[in-house]
Chains A and B, each alone.
Chain A
Amino acid sequence: MKHFIAILFVILHLSGCMKIPFREADRVPMSSQDAGIMVNRFKERMPVNFQLLSTIVFLYNWSQFSGIGYLDINAEKRAFKAVGINPMGVKLFELSGDEQGVVTHFALDALTRRGDLARAVGEDIRRIYFDLVPSPGAAVRRKKYEIIFSRTLEAGRIEHVFAGPGGELVEKRYYRDGTMDWRISYYEYQKQDGKSYPRGILLKNYRYGYRLLVKQKELYL
């Protein structure tokens, strides 16, 4: 019995313990969707240059921290600027990045002491906000309610999962050595000025055991 409770405890912990505060896309049959057209339409709806105001919860082991994230994204140039602010308005870090790398403009000592903040945050921003459509050479696999695009990369395999009545990206996941390295779920797409953007994002990093929950508050196009 003790073992059962312990296992249940671990499972609950690994599964997140926290209820996801977003609604998943409606499950509709995807058999009639043309995969190429669906991806192109999705791409057209995605903003390219925009600023985002979000709240972010970082969950690691039993620790949870929340803050405000302010992002400037240029998806075409694969460039970004990011600032993390605590709820009282105090800046925690400020970064910018592009194809050449990530530059830390400001970071509290305590954040940089624990590792390479610029690399970690930069990687997560790229995973979440860039490459939202599969590359043209990706293999297509159909399920009843999903269309999955899969492509083998140098170090692993990336999958883009499309679902819902609008044919939207609902998940991006990356496998390394056959095991899932990270997974990003996108929830509740909202329309604004002809563009569409998810109201909620959840990144799970299995390698390092942390999660990021992002709630979009404002989108500036």
Chain B
Amino acid sequence: MNAETIMRTSYIIVAAFYCFLSGVSPSGASEPYGKQQEQATDLGKTLGILVEKASAFQTLKTDFVQEKEMAMFRDKLVIAGRIYLRKPSTIAWHVDSPLKYSVLITDTRIRQWDEDTNKTQELSLKKNPVFRNVLNQLSVWFSGDYRSLLETHDAVIVQKKPIVIEFVPKENALTKKIIKSITLTFRKDETYLKQIRIREVSGDVTTIIFKNTVLNIPLDGSNFEVRGHV
């Protein structure tokens, strides 16, 4: 896995994690100063509430449907699967269709498997500094220190009920060339994300819809097993 793949892949992972974090920078540069301040206060309050609610879990299980609209194609590509997460830093991402694939990411290793090759690959984080960096960032987000995000994104509240927040990479952000915006839609109870939409500069739009999300559910080893997970 090369750096750019990791960056793009991690961006999707990271995007999914946004539901449990909320470190964002007050934005609205084109607005008058007063309104900008008002928005910043609003955003700050909203994020404060979200951080409090969304950080109060240890484990998570959710189904997801990822819809990929590509500018060059007529029909959407749909990928469906499940995510299992255990704090502080273990996540299993299982894809059920159109192919069966699993990846397990921990603080020391990445392990992946797919049904077509029926091979399990394991990568050490020590030998993958880029991935290690990504996971370090995830840890930062989970710990609640969102200062790194403040440096890389502007954000605005698009809607209050349910809460919808749009993040735009800043001019100097590495992802600026790829990502146009990321829009998060929270559930009514604001404890987790309902949907995330990633708009790419290319015109592609990726929407990840989370379903059947359960927090603080007991998870066992099989949830984090990658080989033949189904």
Contact = CB atoms under 8 A, between A and B. Distances in A.
A81 B3 CA distance: 26
A81 B9 contact: no
A85 B5 CA distance: 11
B116 A215 contact: yes
Given A66-B101, A89-B79, A90-B12, A72 B116 contact: no
A86 B9 contact: yes
Nearest to A215: B116
A66 B95 CA distance: 13
Contact of A85 (B13, B77, B97, B116): B77
A92 interface: yes
A91 B179 CA distance: 13
Interface in B78-116: 79, 93, 95, 97-99, 101, 103, 114, 116
A66 B119 CA distance: 10
Contact of A220 (B2, B72, B75): B75
B114 A66 contact: yes
Interface residues of B, number: 31
Interface in B41-82: 66, 68, 70, 72-75, 77, 79
The interface residues of chain A, by DSSP majority, are classed as: strand
B103 A88 contact: yes
Interface residues of A, number: 32
B2 A94 contact: no
B73 A89 contact: no
Contacts, number: 91
A55 B4 contact: no
A217 interface: yes
B5 A86 contact: yes
Contacts of A108: 2, 4-5, 8
Interface string A57-96: 1000000111010101000000001010111111110101
Contacts of B73: 51, 70, 72, 81, 83
B202 interface: yes
Contact of B4 (A89, A109, A213, A218): A109
Contact of B98 (A64, A65, A68): A68
B72 A94 contact: yes
Q: Give the residue among B74, B77, B202 with the most A Cβ atoms within 10 A.
A: B77
A53 interface: yes
Nearest to A81: B72
Contacts of A13: none
Contacts of A72: 72-74
Contacts of A70: 70, 73, 77
B225 interface: no
B206 interface: yes
A108 B119 CA distance: 23
A5 interface: no
A217 B3 CA distance: 30
Given A55-B116, A90-B12, 20 more contacts: A51-B73, A53-B77, A55-B98, A64-B119, A68-B98, A83-B73, A87-B95, A87-B101, A87-B103, A88-B103, A89-B12, A89-B206, A96-B72, A108-B2, A108-B5, A110-B4, A110-B5, A215-B99, A215-B116, A217-B97
Interface of B: 2-5, 8-9, 12-13, 66, 68, 70, 72-75, 77, 79, 93, 95, 97-99, 101, 103, 114, 116-117, 119, 202, 204, 206
Q: Which 9 A-B pairs have the closest CB atoms?
A: A110-B2, A87-B101, A64-B117, A55-B99, A217-B98, A66-B116, A90-B8, A66-B114, A57-B116
Interface of A: 51, 53, 55, 57, 64-66, 68, 70, 72, 81, 83, 85-92, 94, 96, 105-106, 108-110, 213, 215, 217-218, 220
7 contacts: A51-B73, A57-B116, A66-B99, A70-B77, A83-B70, A88-B9, A105-B202
